[in-house]
């Protein structure tokens, strides 16, 4: 029996996090330097229905039957089985590995779901479509995050830069000219659901101010889209700086993230901002390739656990 494997990239949000939950646009790009991978091996000689799950990165070795139904790994398999109208899941072993930082704003949970959905459905000769995969991964994200906007499952499933508005048909983004981003990991784990819920409390307290902040972020995202589609890369840096300032006003930055942003800019980055939910996780900086070493060193000196240099290629 052949093994079926599939992988899915990490992602970062370039513009528009948090405001996207309130209907404003956001831009996200896949990051192929980090990935989640799933390998499915059929076990025809095993007990019928016995699904073994191995996820060594999180020290998990169990069976599907032993996991609660709302455990994300169980939920993804039950949802896949139901989308494929399976009456039972054939015996198999599913091994999941990932080098995407957990709770770091790089989409680790959505990437794990997408990789499993692809490998598992292919192993049964019934590969799910991208649309189905993105929807099922979204439903699993709802278990982790409560009210996800859907941006993670979308960009990770399609593996291309996306311009995303909640509940609106997704648009992939043309990139006129390649550009380089440096991602710096604070190493601080920050669960998305709690930061999203704090922003929601802020919005309930001061609706007008938050709506203004979200509008300003939406306008920045719109300008960034034009800049990316027309190859005006120089103007992306200042837009990232402005987006970071607005995220600070929403209260989702942190001393570590502000320190990284400052360090990156002082070392020659063209712009920098936090990426994802905030409070921890990652910072992203736009860099000229010639300045990237200097910015990496500055981030390391500021305490970055690790850095990832990634090129967003022209399409």
Tell which one of 10, 148, 161, 237 touches ligand PMV (CB under 6 A).
148
Distance of closest approach, residue 106 Cβ to ligand PMV, in angstroms: 7
If the CB atoms of residues 105 and 271 are measured against ligand PMV, the closer one turns out to be 105
Residues 106-125, one symbol each (x = binds ligand PMV by CB under 6 A, - = not), give -x------------------
Examine residue 98 and tell whether it contacts ligand PMV (CB under 6 A). no
Is 141 in contact with 152 (CB distance < 8 Å)?
yes
Tell which one of 15, 138, 152, 228 touches ligand PMV (CB under 6 A).
152
d(CA 216, CA 241): 13
Among the listed ranges 17-25, 49-57, 222-230, 242-250, the one in contact with ligand PMV (CB under 6 A) is 17-25
Identify whether 293 is a catalytic site residue: no
Residues 169-198, one symbol each (x = binds ligand PMV by CB under 6 A, - = not), give -----------------------x---x--
Examine residue 276 and tell whether it contacts ligand PMV (CB under 6 A). yes
Q: Is 314 left (phi over 0), alpha (psi -120 to 50) or beta?
A: beta
Examine residue 36 and tell whether it contacts ligand PMV (CB under 6 A). no
Is 261 in contact with 240 (CB distance < 8 Å)?
no
d(CA 290, CA 56): 38
Is 72 in contact with 55 (CB distance < 8 Å)?
no
SS3 of 308, please?
strand
- The string over 136-173, giving b where at least 16 C-beta atoms fall within 10 Å of a residue's C-beta and e elsewhere, is bbbebbebbbeebbbbbbbbbbbbbbbbbbbeeebeeb
The residue annotated as part of the active site, out of 152, 185, 258, 293, is 152
Name the site residues for ligand PMV (rule: CB under 6 A).
Answer: 13, 17-18, 20-21, 105, 107, 148-149, 151-152, 192, 196, 276-277, 281
Active site residues: 152
């Amino acid at each position: 029996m052949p093994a079926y494997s599939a992988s899915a990239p990490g992602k970062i949000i370039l513009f528009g996090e948090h405001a996207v939950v309130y209907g404003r646009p956001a831009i996200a790009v896949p990051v192929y330097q980090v990935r989640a991978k799933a390998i499915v091996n059929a076990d025809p000689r095993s007990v019928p229905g016995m699904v073994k799950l191995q996820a060594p990165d999180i020290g998990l070795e169990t069976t599907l039957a032993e996991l609660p139904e709302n455990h994300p790994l169980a939920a993804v398999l039950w949802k896949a089985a139901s989308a494929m109208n399976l009456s039972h899941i054939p015996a198999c072993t599913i091994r999941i590995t990932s080098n995407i930082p957990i709770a770091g704003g790089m989409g680790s949970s959505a990437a794990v779901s997408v990789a499993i959905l692809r490998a598992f459905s292919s192993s049964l000769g019934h590969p799910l479509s991208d649309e189905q995969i993105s929807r099922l991964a979204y439903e699993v994200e709802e278990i982790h995050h409560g009210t996800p906007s859907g941006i993670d499952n979308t960009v990770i499933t399609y593996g291309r830069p996306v311009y995303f508005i909640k509940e609106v048909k997704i648009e992939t983004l043309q990139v006129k000219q390649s550009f380089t981003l440096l991602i710096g990991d604070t190493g601080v784990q920050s669960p998305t659901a709690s930061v999203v819920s704090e922003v929601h409390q802020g919005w309930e307290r001061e609706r007008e101010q938050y709506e203004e902040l979200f509008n300003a972020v939406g306008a920045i995202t719109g300008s960034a889209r034009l800049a990316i589609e027309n190859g005006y890369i120089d103007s992306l840096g200042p837009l990232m700086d402005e987006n970071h300032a607005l995220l600070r006003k929403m209260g989702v930055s942190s001393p570590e993230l502000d320190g990284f942003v400052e360090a990156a800019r002082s070392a020659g980055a063209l712009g920098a901002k936090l990426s994802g939910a905030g409070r921890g996780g990652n910072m992203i900086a736009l860099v000229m390739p010639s300045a990237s070493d200097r910015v990496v060193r500055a981030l390391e000196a500021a305490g970055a656990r690790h850095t990832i240099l990634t090129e967003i290629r022209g399409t």
